[in-house]
Amino acid sequence: MEKAKAENFDWPNLGFNYYDLPYSFHAEYKDGKWDEGKLTSDSTIKMSEAANVLHYGQEAFEGLKAYRRKDGGVNLFRPDMNAKRLHNSAERLLMAPFPEDRFVEAVKMVVKANQNFVPPYGSGATLYIRPFIIGTGEVIGVHPADKFQFHILVTPVGPYYKGGMKPTEYVTSPYDRAAHGGTGQSKVSGNYAASLLPGSLAHKNGYSDVVYLDPRLHENIEELGGANFFGITKDGKFKTPKSPSILPSITKKSLLQIADSFGMEPEETTISIYDLDQFSEAGAMGTAAVISPVGSITHNGNKHVFYSETEVGSYTQKLYDRLSGIQDGDQKGPDGWQVDV
Ligand code: PLP
Ligand code: COI
């Protein structure tokens, strides 16, 4: 793939795609320690044919964004939380965690090196940052690797769900993405591999994404393929699923705090797929999704429409304005949420 050129991007019309940018960050772990790591213009990765990641899936990743501010500077949003979650995911798969303070420094370094590719303020686009760790030590039996690579790629992106802040349709699936007691709490590739088939069936039928149900009863909402779920009750309360098999979303944690500041009495609780009538609005929340209104959920052929299939509800809009106001640097957020690059 050819290296991208900043002048060729049509920022307001970007989709969610990969472009090969000038610089990535790369570090390697062997003999019990991580090397210094460095910026590299090599966007390929070299490993043994027996690397653990190729056979037994030792891989964990993160997703965060760099936001162009009005003053021309660049913000990260709570990158320490991504560092911590990657640490937890790595431990779940018996991989060497990358030191959390160095994670944040490496993210800043790679964003700075690609600064011409941080989309302009107000374009609706951002620079997506994808750090990951892979097990590259050679194995043939099912054992953890003893060598790892940490790599960060960056690529400019627009909205993840088509339409961004327009409501779209979602559907449940008989498939699960993660088991009870499995790796749902970790951001690891296996969860996403399991979601490819149900996701592609949903897309073929015109839905934006799958609403996964709990893997034991198939009754309670877990999360979406690429985001957590929230509902706003008819009396304006913010509810989001509580489950041991969903990803602990940083956007969710932030919105719980924002909803609290709005007096929306936020709660993480069980949400039955048969109790959607309690909600007047619903949405997806995540780094890539930001907040994307869920217009409807179809379950067993029955379509439940929330607020509207075309209009955004006022609570969803208010939450979005505050969250993106902080991310873009237009509004001051709580301490530590806005990190200058
Ligand atoms: N759930 C899944 C399955 C995801 O892939 C993501 C994206 O990272 C999220 C939730 C949202 O997490 P965050 O807000 O930390 O991006
Ligand atoms: C993110 O929001 O960063 C994710 O990793 C979601 C992914 C499906 C793009």
Parallel, antiparallel or unpaired: strands 279-286 and 148-157: unpaired
What mean pLDDT, rounded, does the chain reach? 97
Q: Label residue 102 by pLDDT band (50, 70, 90).
A: very high
pLDDT at 20: 98
pLDDT at 251: 98
Parallel, antiparallel or unpaired: strands 59-61 and 33-34: unpaired
The answer on pLDDT for 163 being more than 90 is: no
Q: How far is the CA of 171 from the centre of ligand 2 (A)?
A: 19
Residue 339 backbone dihedrals phi, psi, to 5 degrees: -120, 120
Structure tokens at 257: 């705090």
Is 131's C-beta closer than 6 angstroms to any atom of ligand 2?
Answer: no
The active-site residue, picked from 187, 242, 318, 332, is 187
The answer on pLDDT for 298 being more than 90 is: yes
Which of 254, 287, 292 is the best mutation target for the ligand 2 pocket, counting ligand atoms within 8 Å of the beta carbon and taking the most?
287
Q: How far is the CA of 247 from the centre of ligand 1 (A)?
A: 6
Mean of the pLDDT values across residues 57-63?
98
Q: How far is the CA of 246 from the centre of ligand 1 (A)?
A: 9
Query: Which atom of ligand 2 lies nearest, measured to the CA of 286?
Result: 2
Is 251's C-beta closer than 6 angstroms to any atom of ligand 2?
Answer: no
Q: Label residue 64 by pLDDT band (50, 70, 90).
A: very high
166 catalytic, yes or no?
Answer: no
Cα 307 versus chain centre, distance? 25
Q: Which ligand lies nearest to the CA atom of residue 186 in the structure? A: 1
Is 126's C-beta closer than 6 angstroms to any atom of ligand 2?
Answer: no
Q: How far is the CA of 214 from the centre of ligand 2 (A)?
A: 20
Residue 126: which of 88, 87, 166, 157 has the closest Cα? Answer: 157
Length of the chain: 341
Alpha-helical segments (H) within the chain: 52-55, 79-92, 100-113, 189-204, 250-261, 314-327
pLDDT at 309: 87
Given CA atoms 30, 34, 35, 38 in this order, what sign does their dihedral have? positive
The residue ranges of DSSP E strands in the chain, in sequence order, are 24-30, 33-34, 38-40, 59-61, 64-68, 74-77, 126-135, 148-157, 168-172, 209-213, 221-224, 228-233, 238-241, 267-269, 279-286, 290-299, 302-305, 338-340
Query: Which atom of ligand 1 lies nearest, measured to the CA of 64?
Result: 16
pLDDT at 186: 98
What would you measure as the largest C-alpha separation in the chain, in angstroms? 57
pTM value? Answer: 0.97
Q: How far is the CA of 55 from the centre of ligand 2 (A)?
A: 23
The answer on pLDDT for 15 being more than 90 is: yes
Q: Which ligand lies nearest to the CA atom of residue 227 in the structure? A: 1
Q: Which ligand lies nearest to the CA atom of residue 285 in the structure? A: 1
Q: Is the ipTM of this complex over 0.85?
A: yes
Is 159's C-beta closer than 6 angstroms to any atom of ligand 2?
Answer: no
Pocket of ligand 1 (CB under 6 A): 63, 223, 226-228, 247, 249-252, 286-287
The answer on pLDDT for 1 being more than 90 is: no
Residue 296: which of 143, 140, 168, 126 has the closest Cα? Answer: 168
Amino acid at site 16: F
Mean of the pLDDT values across residues 149-169?
92
Each residue of 301-341: pLDDT tens digit? 999 999 888 999 999 999 999 999 999 999 999 999 999 99
Each residue of 223-243: pLDDT tens digit? 999 999 999 999 999 999 999
CB-count exposure of residue 2 (10 Å: 0-12, 13-18, 19+): exposed
Q: Whose CA is nearest to atom 1 of ligand 1?
A: 227
Mean of the pLDDT values across residues 247-254?
98
The answer on pLDDT for 185 being more than 80 is: yes
Quickly count: other Cβ atoms within 10 Å of residue 199's Cβ.
21
The answer on pLDDT for 162 being more than 90 is: no
Dist. CA 32–CA 13, nearest whole Å = 45
pLDDT at 98: 98
Q: Please tell me the chain's helix, strand, coil percentages from 3-state DSSP, rounded to the nearest 5.
A: 25, 30, 45
Parallel, antiparallel or unpaired: strands 267-269 and 238-241: parallel
